[in-house]
Amino acid sequence: MDYKYFFLASSSIRVEETLSSNNSTEDAMFWSELYDDNHHQSFYFSSLALNELEDTDEIIRRAYQILSIFEGIFKLCEKRFRKYFKLDSLYDFQTKKIIAAPINEPEIYFIDFDLSKLKNSPEFITNNLAYDLFSKIIKSEYLTNLFFLLSKNTDYKLLYMIYDDIKYFLKKEDSSHLLKEFENDIKIFTHTANNYEVLGYFARHGRTSQQPPKKVISLEDSTELIYKIVYKVLYEKFNIILYRL
């Protein structure tokens, strides 16, 4: 492909192997290459969406925006809170000359370009679950935002934001009934989140003599709850079934 730039990246060996096979996506993709006789491999990432950019900071920012979707995919499928991807250095694709290193990950609060314009297509099946899921996600504005949120550090505030987005989405879709089976757990979760994380000092028990909630849900169990809700929404509304990658 006619890439203009590429990144030396890093992840776990298993993730690198997963994303380096069946990776013919026509656009955003990872690949690995041997770099010595001991069979050590380098892991790379690129996208055609970087070609139109000239400013180094903009290239890095856009790359991390694309990577955020892959972060969300792996966190949801693997149910692990770890950081999956890091960009180490930026290169010119033709000359292989280094442009920037080391790379500091920028703070990204939203995706500022249209990911749906990437050539990754749901009609082009790679038989790689990560890439095929990525291609479906970027064609939906709602899913793009959902997986961007999933890529962030997991805490009560983030989980509350995800739940709130899902609740609003289902209400618009006239599908609020999908939350019915989680109703009791949701009440405990929202009570816990509102009192301990989202409102902080301004929680009810933080500024009055009221007591904190007697029944709380741990961050781990809250994450499990929200993930179960996400799984159901993906299946019922988008016909997406998630498997461990």
Beta carbons of 5 and 117 less than 8 angstroms apart: no
Q: Count H helices, E strands: the chain?
A: 8, 5
* Structural domain spans, the chain: 5-137, 154-238
* Predicted confidence (pLDDT) per residue in 183-200, tens digit: 999 999 998 988 765 555
Per-residue pLDDT at 202 exceeds 70: no
pLDDT at 174 exceeding the cut of 70: yes
Q: Are 6 and 43 in contact (CB under 8 A)?
A: no
**Cα four-point dihedral sign 178, 180, 182, 186:** positive
Helix or strand (DSSP H, E) at 86: strand 86-92
> Tell me, what's the pLDDT at 207?
44
Give 34's pLDDT tier (boundaries 50, 70, 90): confident
| Residues 6+ away with beta carbon under 8 Å from 25 | 119, 120, 124, 126, 131, 134, 135
7-21, 78-92, 201-215: which has the minimum mean pLDDT? 201-215
pTM of the entire predicted model: 0.90
